[in-house]
Chains A and B, each alone.
Chain A
Amino acid sequence: QSALTQPRSVSGSPGQSVTISCTGTSSDVGSYNYVSWYQQHPGKAPKLILFDVNKRPSGVPDRFSGSKSGNTASLTISGLQAEDEADYYCCSYAGSYTWVFGGGTKLTVL
């Protein structure tokens, strides 16, 4: 499977909103509503922030939201905060009980 496509980097100022895209194919993102997003700070394990496209685990602020259209999913972070600076990865179920991840996006809070 090929990795999902994410922008290498995005940036925004505190209080602003940013959107990170995640483009796959009709075999993964386009076929299943099982897209999840992860936040990873340097040297740390990934942390789940969204699953099933737009559902938040308990404890994740509602500043994080998700959507999907066709083969592209998106993560929007509103009201940017300094602690949001991290790498973000999308993941999609790809059939046959396998997963495919995006290449990752580095979010810089200016």
Chain B
Amino acid sequence: EVQLVESGGGSVQPGGSLRLSCAASGFTFSDYWMHWVRQGPGKGLVWVARLTSDGTGTSYADSVKDRFTISRDNAKKTLYLQMNSLRVEDTAVYYCVRDARYSPDQWGQGTLVTVSS
């Protein structure tokens, strides 16, 4: 069974940093591109970042570019999202998502990030 388990969320003040992790199991993690998608409170889904299977290629939404960094450790089967210079508008549930050839297929349960003073 495919499982994606996010962790690392929490409360932080504006300008602060957090690092999210996503532990993968049940599939060959190193074969898949991975993404982060977020959902603000009561809002829709928004794509955040993507990473190639070997960790060398990245893309970011304009809203997080130069503040967030997506990375992975294939030996540990773990995806990361380093979030710096956090803003109130970054408050959301962050989902780790597997890329199945141009579409998201498997989603984690999400981890809540709250940015507030």
Binding site for B on A (CB under 8 A): 1, 3, 32, 34, 36, 38, 44-48, 51-52, 57, 89, 91, 93, 96-104
CB B60 to nearest CB in A, in angstroms, measures 9
The interface size of chain B toward A, counting residues with CB under 8 Å, comes to: 22
Where chain B touches its partner, the secondary structure class is strand
Q: Is B109 an interface residue (CB 8 A)?
A: yes
Taken residue by residue from 94 to 107, chain B's Cβ proximity to chain A (1 for < 8 Å, 0 otherwise) reads as: 01000010111111
Across-interface contacts of A93 in B (CB, < 8 A): 102-103
CA distance A91 to B47 in the complex (A): 10
Beyond A45-B95, A99-B35, list 10 extra A-B contacts (CB 8 Å). Answer: A1-B61, A3-B44, A34-B103, A36-B103, A45-B109, A51-B105, A96-B59, A99-B47, A100-B47, A104-B45
CA distance A93 to B35 in the complex (A): 13
Across-interface contacts of A99 in B (CB, < 8 A): 35, 37, 47, 50, 103-104
Q: Which of A36, A52, A99, A103 has the most CB of B within 10 A?
A: A99
* Residue contact A101 to B44, C-beta cutoff 8 Å: yes
